[in-house]
Amino acid sequence: MKKLKTHIYKVDEQTADEVWQAAGDILRKGGLVAFPTETVYGLGANALDEKASAKIYAAKGRPSDNPLIVHIADAHMMDTLARDIPDAAWKLADRFWPGPLTMILKKKAIVPDGTTGGLDTVAIRMPSHPAALKLIQVSGVCIAAPSANTSGRPSPTRAEHVMEDMDGKIDMILDGGEVGIGIESTIVDLTGDVPMILRPGYITKEMLSQAIGAVDTDPAILDENKDENFRPKAPGMKYKHYAPKGDLTLVEGPERKVVEKIRKLTADRLADGCRVGIIATQETQKDYDQGLVISIGSRHDEGEIIHNLYHILREMDRLQVDVIYSESFSEGARGQAIMNRLLKAAGHQVIYV
Ligand code: AMP
Ligand code: MG
């Protein structure tokens, strides 16, 4: 791949018009622009230009059967991209857009197969981050954007993370600072009889049910379901994902037992000559006296844990640890969303105590 010069610009309310125009130009001409959203940084291209979306796959090293989410700045754009839109979709758009919810709908012919991985459906989201909305508006294109990381690495929540993975591979990075939420959108499929969550996220099943009634969760993404024959309905959910370079293991159980186990494992690995990282909480941080300890936040603040998750996985890479032990976070309303990412990052290595 030809090396590109990647231009970086800070974006906020003061950003000059020329910067927005330049970013819009790149997208209209089929180039790639990374930009902040409220969930994670996205790697954007014109969703209706097959050649442009192909560049996303090349820059990320993303498998071509893993479809892209199309970002819009106005709910009515759904009509341009999708057909047979059920009432539930309009209700969800009304309730949660702009915001961290992606809907799967039947696609219209205008959406190229290259954007949907050959599927007859399209994933659509209206983000709430002002820079994302502005970019869609000034460019005048629907923006296909997966997370702006190299496939398999933790998703980027800061422009520096995007630089690490994408420098020289894309035309521009818009730096909007740290994102607000920190994990990817909830994905709900509205093409079946009962709406189905294909990826858990900040918007919970309970929140969706309050708006539209019964909602299912794809059985293949629930951790209990390790049957190989269950294939997740979102193609991307089957891939190894979010993985730090060190070997990550989760330890699950009552807090005191978890701390004791991680202390013991850490002592053993250190004796083997390994560099050991520990993902602790504000409450337990002081209980670890060996290893490189990072607090992910308070166990009582799910939002904080979600916000710090990917940055900490990248920090562990920076610290060049060989092994990482992490506490588990399955209890709260968003426990499923957190554990879905951590379990993938750990390649499902869990020790129950
Ligand atoms: P990313 O944008 O990197 O967070 O990944 C997008 C996610 O959306 C992946 O898990 C895809 O498999 C999923 N996705 C995108 N389009 C569709 C679709 N038409 N049907 C099911 N899942 C989809
Ligand atoms: Mg991704």
DSSP string, 5-25: P-EEEE-STT--HHHHHHHHH
Rounded to whole angstroms, the Cα distance separating 108 from 280 reads: 47
End-to-end CA distance of the chain: 48
Reference 61, options 182, 241, 187, 313; nearest CA is 241
The residue whose two tokens read 């990482």 is: 324
pTM of the predicted structure, to 2 decimals: 0.95
Rounded to whole angstroms, the Cα distance separating 215 from 196 reads: 6
Average pLDDT over residues 46-71: 96
Evaluated on CA atoms 129, 131, 137, 142, the torsion sign reads negative
pLDDT > 80? residue 223: no
Q: Predicted confidence band at 225 (pLDDT cuts at 50, 70, 90)?
A: low
Mapping DSSP to helix (H, G, I), strand (E, B) and coil, where does residue 278 land?
strand
pLDDT at 231: 75
pLDDT > 70? residue 45: yes
pLDDT > 80? residue 322: yes
146 alpha carbon – ligand 2 mean position (Å): 5
Give the ligand with the smallest distance to the CA of 123: 1
Average pLDDT over residues 113-138: 97
Rounded to whole angstroms, the Cα distance separating 25 from 169 reads: 17
237 alpha carbon – ligand 1 mean position (Å): 8
What are the beta bridge partners of residue 123? Answer: 69, 104
Reference 124, options 152, 86, 97; nearest CA is 97
Closest ligand 1 atom to the C-alpha of 107? Answer: 19
pLDDT > 90? residue 226: no
The closest residue, in CA terms, to atom 5 on ligand 1 is 146
Name every protein residue with a CB atom under 6 angstroms from any ligand 1 atom.
Answer: 66-67, 69, 104, 116, 119, 121-123, 146-147, 184, 187, 198-199, 233-237
User: How confident is the prediction for the chain on average, in pLDDT?
Assistant: 95
Rounded to whole angstroms, the Cα distance separating 338 from 291 reads: 23
pLDDT at 229: 63
73-98 pLDDT tens trace: 999 999 999 999 999 999 999 999 99
Closest ligand 1 atom to the C-alpha of 69? Answer: 15
Mapping DSSP to helix (H, G, I), strand (E, B) and coil, where does residue 324 land?
strand
Contacts of residue 329, defined as CB under 8 A and 6 or more positions apart, other chains included, come to 299, 302, 305, 335, 338, 339, 342
Rounded to whole angstroms, the Cα distance separating 242 from 240 reads: 7
**Beta strand pairing call for 69-71 and 7-10:** unpaired
Average pLDDT over residues 299-323: 97
58: left (phi over 0), alpha (psi -120 to 50) or beta: alpha
Cα angle: 201, vertex 320, 288; to 5 degrees: 75
155 alpha carbon – ligand 2 mean position (Å): 6
Give the whole-number percent of the chain exceeding pLDDT 90.
91
218 alpha carbon – ligand 1 mean position (Å): 14
Dihedral Cα 304, 155, 352, 186, nearest 10 deg? 70
Rounded to whole angstroms, the Cα distance separating 301 from 241 reads: 24
Contact in structure between 40 and 147 (CB atoms under 8 Å): yes
Q: Predicted confidence band at 232 (pLDDT cuts at 50, 70, 90)?
A: confident
Ion ligand 2: residue ranges with CB closer than 5 A = 146-147
25 alpha carbon – ligand 1 mean position (Å): 26
